Amino acid sequence: MTRSRTLSAAARPPFHRASVILAMMAAIALFMMSMAVHAADDKDKGLSDEDMACLKCHSKPGQEKTLGNGEKLSLFIGTKAFAESVHGKEGCEGCHSEIDAKTHGKERTSIASKREHALSMMDACRDCHKKTFKQYEDSVHAALVQDGSEKAPLCSDCHDPHATRSAKNTPANTDTVICQKCHEKIDKAFMASVHGQPAGDDVLVCADCHRTHNVKAASLGDNMKKECISCHRDTASTHGKWLPNTDRHLEAISCPACHAPGAKRRVNLRLYDGLTQQQASDKVGVPQFIKLAGGRDANGSLDARALWSMLQEFNRNGSQGKTVVRGRLEVKTGIEAHQMAKKEQALKDCDTCHSEGAEPFQSVTVSIAGPDGRPVRRDASKGILNSVESIESVGGFYAIGSTRIKLLDTLLALTVAAGILLPGAHLTAKWLFRRARAKREAAADHGSDESAPN
Ligand code: HEC
Ligand code: HEC
Ligand code: HEC
Ligand code: HEC
Ligand code: HEC
Ligand code: HEC
Ligand code: HEC
Ligand code: HEC
Ligand code: HEC
């Protein structure tokens, strides 16, 4: 505005001497004013008197306070960094409203640990960042904190509250650096992968697949696959050109299982609620799972019969829908899940999976999603996939026999099952239930409540 007014004035003839003098005087006045502002800048960087009063003590380097657990809390706050941060205008008071000026700095207060202090300060963020705070509260990180984790991040683990810069002024990979602090090995794998190598100006960051604040458990349901497809929209059609039963393959195999060529793979049998089509996940289910997964074969892993009776038990007590098992072929570790390579290296050979003794089927786990969405796993015997006893539980999974002709397998299995298994299974079930009932009655006598969430 100012500039356009000056321009139009200059363009307007005639040019009076008086106006030139006036303009010069104005320019001198402006110059002096700007000098004054600069001087003030040097003194307090535009911070309020109240903030400067806090900083009179807190800008002295080297001050520390010893906390309950022996940690040293540095009391130093950088004036310049704070003044330049997004919170400079909010002032210390914006977050530290609880400080009592009368006693502060004179009387010692006791703080158990850095973590406890950061936790107690976190509510302040909620006041001004309601939406972000809500997203965070919904995350696996927050669930872990709630569960008492000392390692899961609080707001201040990712944002220095005294030096937060606007995302606009930070390099594009800042996000990744923040996550790297705690997920170092995954970061390394990611950086070496096809996504970690910039394609033109595109640098992928962790949040492109995991979100920033609303981070969810990675292996829950189809969360990750949805993220992949949000960028690689034509996945179904490109794969359909060479992969028959494309939908079924993309449903039963996690993307990294084919795209991380060096990874080790396994079959994970995930417990699902048949009614809601969600992975079974609640506080009651997990202890029950852990208890029931106790039935193990000689190698210490869950066998077919134990799985079968576990499902029976779930479905007998369950007030929700029928609990079913869904197989998923996946990579073994979170690190391998990030080792995705160029498409030329992806698994394409049908025999890798559809042959006798195929590698991915040699390792099997059974899992239920815990309350925070992360899986609680138990090893299962690999025989669980082939055993006729699992037909009912593992039913749909192709792995039976691991040959190409499922129909034959199924027919064969059904024949055997009808002849031998079913009567046997019924007897076993009755026996197991009787035992379980007796146990429950005994427990009730002792007044314990096994189904209470803990
Ligand atoms: C945006 C919110 C916010 C503002 C504004 C803020 N603080 Fe803090 N402050 C925190 C949080 C959160 C913690 C605890 C987490 C941590 O350790 O960084 C903290 C911790 C501290 C500590 C303990 C040492 C430390 O670094 O943990 C001191 C001292 C402190 N603040 C002083 C100040 C002063 C002085 C100002 C103003 C110049 C100020 N704070 C402004 C949020 C804030
Ligand atoms: C007179 C010096 C002085 C002033 C002024 C001062 N502080 Fe402190 N502050 C201290 C000392 C000393 C401690 C350590 C107290 C202890 O050991 O218990 C401290 C500790 C803190 C802590 C760590 C948590 C705690 O309670 O021990 C925070 C946060 C803090 N000050 C913020 C502020 C803010 C915000 C202001 C301005 C409103 C302020 N201080 C003004 C001297 C001062
Ligand atoms: C008194 C209000 C207030 C409080 C309390 C507060 N903030 Fe802020 N915060 C702001 C304002 C205002 C901005 C700048 C405007 C914006 O970008 O939303 C900001 C910006 C931010 C940004 C940068 C946003 C961007 O542009 O990239 C982050 C990160 C942030 N705050 C984190 C925190 C954290 C963590 C806490 C708690 C320790 C906190 N804030 C507490 C007011 C507050
Ligand atoms: C796991 C790390 C992490 C945690 C925990 C975290 N943030 Fe962030 N936050 C980020 C990253 C990364 C960005 C992206 C901006 C950037 O590149 O600096 C961001 C951006 C922001 C922004 C600006 C953009 C937006 O989404 O609104 C605000 C405000 C913010 N965070 C506040 C908070 C608050 C408040 C908390 C605690 C409830 C919190 N953050 C917890 C990593 C985190
Ligand atoms: C291209 C998408 C993508 C990006 C980018 C990405 N991840 Fe992942 N992440 C995945 C997939 C896929 C999984 C495995 C999910 C599953 O089990 O199906 C995963 C799993 C995880 C897990 C869980 C590991 C475990 O033990 O189960 C963590 C933690 C994680 N990622 C952190 C990160 C971090 C930190 C970054 C950035 C350095 C990152 N991810 C970048 C896709 C991505
Ligand atoms: C202060 C440490 C810390 C920071 C910073 C951090 N995380 Fe985490 N995160 C954890 C811990 C601890 C866990 C739980 C243990 C685990 O799964 O590794 C976890 C779990 C996760 C999980 C769920 C793992 C699973 O099994 O499904 C994902 C996904 C994840 N983090 C992604 C991220 C992303 C993305 C960032 C950056 C925006 C990030 N984390 C920053 C500590 C951190
Ligand atoms: C059975 C193994 C397998 C599975 C499962 C699989 N892919 Fe692929 N994918 C491949 C192979 C092999 C290629 C290379 C095809 C070719 O030769 O052009 C490929 C190609 C791609 C490409 C390159 C596309 C192009 O231009 O041709 C992308 C992107 C991709 N896959 C993403 C995904 C995503 C996302 C998922 C999970 C939803 C997934 N893939 C699941 C094997 C698989
Ligand atoms: C934010 C967008 C984004 C997300 C989300 C994403 N990718 Fe990518 N992906 C890219 C970009 C960009 C490239 C590199 C450019 C290219 O080759 O297409 C790439 C490359 C690939 C390639 C190599 C393609 C080739 O031509 O060699 C594969 C395979 C792939 N992604 C699979 C996945 C899988 C699996 C997921 C989910 C776990 C995923 N992507 C999530 C953007 C994304
Ligand atoms: C990474 C392992 C893997 C690769 C590679 C793979 N498959 Fe599959 N295939 C599976 C799994 C797992 C299923 C789903 C099992 C189920 O539905 O129970 C499946 C299902 C099928 C089915 C459907 C069987 C049925 O009855 O529903 C056919 C047909 C099939 N695959 C053929 C192929 C062909 C042809 C190729 C090579 C072009 C191939 N597969 C590559 C693992 C793989």
Both tokens of 71, joined, read 């940690």
Residue nearest to atom 22 of ligand 7 (CA): 343
In a domain, 299, yes or no: yes
Asked if 195 contacts 207 with a C-beta cutoff of 8 angstroms, the reply is no
pLDDT tens digits along 216-270: 999 998 889 999 999 999 999 999 999 998 998 999 999 999 999 999 999 999 9
Query: Half-sphere exposure of residue 319, counting CA atoms within 13 Å on the CB side?
Result: 3
Question: Residue 370 CA: which ligand is closest?
Answer: 6
Above 80 in pLDDT, residue 442? no
- pLDDT confidence of 422, banded at 50, 70, 90? very low
Q: Which of 218, 255, 221, 260 is nearest to 236 (CA)?
A: 255
Asked if 220 contacts 373 with a C-beta cutoff of 8 angstroms, the reply is yes
- pLDDT confidence of 161, banded at 50, 70, 90? very high
Above 90 in pLDDT, residue 186? yes
- pLDDT confidence of 1, banded at 50, 70, 90? very low
CA dist 198 → 66, 205, 229, 332, 449 (Å): 45, 10, 19, 26, 55
Across the range 385-398, mean pLDDT stands at 62
Asked if 390 contacts 384 with a C-beta cutoff of 8 angstroms, the reply is yes
Across the range 369-373, mean pLDDT stands at 88
Q: Which helix (H) or strand (E) holds 246?
A: helix 246-252
In a domain, 406, yes or no: yes
The span from the CA of 162 to the CA of 142, in Å, is: 22
Residue type, 237: S
> What is the pLDDT, as a whole number, of residue 275?
72
pLDDT tens digits along 306-339: 888 888 888 876 555 678 888 899 999 999 999 9
**What are the start-end ranges of the H helices in 327-403?**
383-386, 391-394
> What is the pLDDT, as a whole number, of residue 13?
36
- Residues 6+ away with beta carbon under 8 Å from 433: 312, 316
Indicate the top mutation candidate among 87, 126, 156 to test ligand 3's pocket, ranked by most ligand atoms within 8 A of CB.
87
* Domains in the chain, number: 1
> What is the pLDDT, as a whole number, of residue 59?
96
Above 50 in pLDDT, residue 436? no
Structure-derived torsion over alpha carbons of residues 292, 294, 298, 304, reported in degrees to the nearest 10: 20
The distance in angstroms from the start CA to the end CA of the chain is: 64
> What is the pLDDT, as a whole number, of residue 197?
83
Question: Residue 145 CA: which ligand is closest?
Answer: 6
> What is the pLDDT, as a whole number, of residue 101?
85
Residue nearest to atom 42 of ligand 9 (CA): 353
Above 70 in pLDDT, residue 9? no
> What is the pLDDT, as a whole number, of residue 308?
82
The span from the CA of 148 to the CA of 136, in Å, is: 16
> Is the CB of 108 inside a 6 Å radius of any atom of ligand 2?
yes
- pLDDT confidence of 397, banded at 50, 70, 90? low
Distance 60 CA to ligand 8 centre (A): 49
pLDDT tens digits along 102-160: 999 999 999 999 999 999 999 999 999 999 999 999 999 999 999 999 999 999 999 99
The span from the CA of 28 to the CA of 351, in Å, is: 84
> What is the pLDDT, as a whole number, of residue 255?
98
Both tokens of 276, joined, read 């809601």
Asked if 109 contacts 85 with a C-beta cutoff of 8 angstroms, the reply is no
The span from the CA of 115 to the CA of 119, in Å, is: 6
> Is the CB of 129 inside a 6 Å radius of any atom of ligand 2?
no
Chain position carrying tokens 């310049």 = 80
Distance 259 CA to ligand 7 centre (A): 7
The span from the CA of 66 to the CA of 6, in Å, is: 60
Across the range 66-93, mean pLDDT stands at 96
Indicate the top mutation candidate among 87, 208, 213 to test ligand 4's pocket, ranked by most ligand atoms within 8 A of CB.
213
- pLDDT confidence of 430, banded at 50, 70, 90? very low
> Is the CB of 367 inside a 6 Å radius of any atom of ligand 5?
no
> What is the pLDDT, as a whole number, of residue 395?
57
Chain position carrying tokens 């000026």 = 101
Above 50 in pLDDT, residue 407? no
Chain position carrying tokens 């509260």 = 137
Q: Which atom of ligand 3 is nearest to the CA of 156?
A: 35
In a domain, 435, yes or no: yes
Degrees (nearest 5) of the Cα angle 410, 412, 413? 65
Asked if 252 contacts 245 with a C-beta cutoff of 8 angstroms, the reply is no
Residue nearest to atom 3 of ligand 4 (CA): 158
> Is the CB of 83 inside a 6 Å radius of any atom of ligand 8?
no
In a domain, 418, yes or no: yes
Distance 177 CA to ligand 1 centre (A): 22
Indicate the top mutation candidate among 138, 140, 209, 212 to test ligand 6's pocket, ranked by most ligand atoms within 8 A of CB.
140
> Is the CB of 235 inside a 6 Å radius of any atom of ligand 4?
no
Residue nearest to atom 32 of ligand 4 (CA): 132
How large a percentage of the chain has pLDDT more than 90? 47
Q: Which residue has the higher pLDDT, 109 or 294?
A: 109
Above 80 in pLDDT, residue 2? no
User: Across all residues in the chain, what is the average pLDDT?
Assistant: 78
In a domain, 275, yes or no: yes
In a domain, 452, yes or no: no
Q: Are strands 364-369 and 278-279 parallel, antiparallel or unpaired?
A: unpaired
The length of the chain, given as a count of residues: 454
Indicate the top mutation candidate among 190, 191, 194 to test ligand 8's pocket, ranked by most ligand atoms within 8 A of CB.
194
What is the domain range of residue 427? 265-445
In a domain, 440, yes or no: yes
Above 90 in pLDDT, residue 55? yes
Above 70 in pLDDT, residue 297? no
Q: Which residue has the higher pLDDT, 355 or 205?
A: 205
Q: Which residue has the higher pLDDT, 51 or 291?
A: 51
Q: Is the dihedral of CA 114, 63, 97, 132 positive or negative?
A: negative
Q: Which atom of ligand 3 is nearest to the CA of 165?
A: 23
> Is the CB of 87 inside a 6 Å radius of any atom of ligand 3?
yes
In a domain, 390, yes or no: yes
Q: Which atom of ligand 5 is nearest to the CA of 217?
A: 23
Query: pTM score, two decimals?
Result: 0.87
- pLDDT confidence of 27, banded at 50, 70, 90? low
Above 50 in pLDDT, residue 63? yes
Residue type, 331: V
